[in-house]
A and B are shown apart, each in its own frame.
Chain A
Amino acid sequence: MKTLLTTAAALSLAASAALAQDVIRMGTEGAYPPYNFINDAGDVDGFEIELGNELCTRAELTCEWVTNDWDSIIPNLVSSNYDTIMAGMSITDERDEVIDFTQDYYPPTESAYVATSEDADWETGVVAGQAATIQAAHVAEGDAALIEFATPEETVAAVRNGEADAVFADYDYLKPLVDASGGELVFVGEPVPLGDGIGMGLRESDTELKETFDAAITSMKEDGTLNEMLVKWFGEDIGQY
């Protein structure tokens, strides 16, 4: 009986200790600079990584990053294999039915078309997009023919090798690529505002964690640190809070 009691006490101690130092596992894609990518050292890096780490510090949580394929990023969240998604994921009604979002930490984005020449037919031609994104959904609604790819890299490659007339993606993802292409890639058409900004995705049942992160995001918006981070990663033209 005595051993039973001590075991029970040890167990309950272990349980409370486990809760106190619980690790929040943060899911990301690691293939979408400047939001998230793998740096030269092989670690995750980018706007969302820096932001996520700061949010965890403010919320006094221990956080660990996990990379996951974009296609299965939501199923693995609801199955509790990690606890949050920070992967440049726009807040949309469709996704909101399955998971919850914090308030946006990145203002509603503009998406843009990029092609190899100014007169590319982005309106009725073939347009590349990453599968299961708001951009792909937007193209599918229009007159252009959509071809989908699993990764953002492939959507741009499709334009370079002529498979698609244009690629439609986040302006901020495309901009560094256009800048570095030396005139090979150009923006075409007008930017299109899409989505309700980017937020952190969480399980719908995880209301407490959502409130914690919401509070941390609010505090970063209020003291201006979020704006500094946005400018650091996206340049002066970025929308701010």
Chain B
Amino acid sequence: MPDCTDPASLEGLAWLACYLTTGKHMAFYGAFGTVLLLLAVTAPAALAFGFGGASLARSRIAPLAWIGKGYIAIVRGVPDIAFFLFFVIALDQAFEWARHQIRCGHWDQPIWQGNDFVVCPQAKLPLSTADQWIHEVYGFALAVLTFAIVFGAFAANVLYGAMRAVPRAQIETGHAYGMTEAQVFRRIVVPQMWVYALPGLSNLWMVLIKATPLLFLLGVEDIVYWARELGGTKTPQFTSYPHGDWRMWYFLGLLVFYLAFTRVSEVVLARVTARLTRGQATLAGEAQRKRAAA
């Protein structure tokens, strides 16, 4: 490991080794973990929102169906960037407003003062006395929730279609055996819908992977933020490692990361599809059965 105290005296690989191990680069490498963690948490959360939305949308009780369909229609219709810029602020304010009602009985000032949204100090989320990491975790949680709501609406639409694609005859057979509506849903619709939903869901997954740069709008520093920050021109006054506009190299690195990641996803999704197809009343399921029999 070269001595990095005076980078100006270093050359070639030694310089590069020092450059690539600055605290700033460490934050960049850490951001890959942030992105992967976000995807790992968001994907199931979005699926849960999607499942809920789709179940509501196909409900026989009209108000429930309106809620489900309204959720799908509104969130799908609002541009992502508007959603991520303003919805998160509104969400945060909603939480703080609720806490304010519970905790701040003694507070005599209005919450809205002109443009300003001010709750009592005890209602702040997180409290302004909280450690920095708590603020970061809270920001991350808001990001997950927002992503889950947005992608959940798209997933809901996919699952709604998939539930309707389950052959009618299967459902009627279930009824004929005396199953209740809930039993039919649980035992017949849900196990069979995934194979119809998977192409749509895999599209969503791919889009979600590439949507993470929106994180910085939510105050979470992701890999694209760091690539832009690290690659930008650095003049000698403000850094020991001055360089020109290197953004291209950093984005090239990101390109490789995203391509590798989407490739791995494709392989995994292909396997999941093959597994879900087994025994299904679809063309692919039939082909699988014939291959196995031959």
Contact = CB atoms under 8 A, between A and B. Distances in A.
A34 B238 CA distance: 7
A205 B115 CA distance: 9
A72 B88 CA distance: 11
Contacts of B221: 67
A75 B86 contact: yes
Nearest to B30: A42
B245 A160 contact: yes
Contact of B27 (A42, A45, A206): A42
A153 B229 CA distance: 9
A40 B116 contact: no
A68 B117 contact: no
A109 to B, nearest CB: 18
B77 interface: no
A176 B116 contact: no
Interface in B200-216: 216
A78 B117 contact: yes
A156 B237 CA distance: 17
Contacts of A132: none
B89 A76 contact: yes
B119 interface: yes
A189 to B, nearest CB: 22
B165 interface: no
Q: Categorize the interface residue count of chain B.
A: 35 or more
Contacts of A19: 121
A10 interface: no
Contacts of B247: 153, 157
B132 interface: yes
B93 A79 contact: yes
Given A41-B22, A72-B85, A176 B92 contact: no
Contacts of B27: 42
Given A78-B116, A156-B233, A18 B121 contact: yes
A18 B26 contact: no
A108 B29 CA distance: 40
Interface residues of A, number: 50
A21 interface: yes
A50 interface: no
A118 interface: no
A66 to B, nearest CB: 8
Contact of B121 (A22, A39, A81): A22
A43 B23 contact: yes
A43 B22 CA distance: 11
Contacts of B122: 15, 18
Given A40-B23, A157-B245, A203 B118 contact: yes
A151 interface: yes
Nearest to A46: B238
A38 B227 CA distance: 13
A69 interface: yes
Contact of B129 (A23, A99, A180): A23
A71 interface: yes
A177 to B, nearest CB: 6
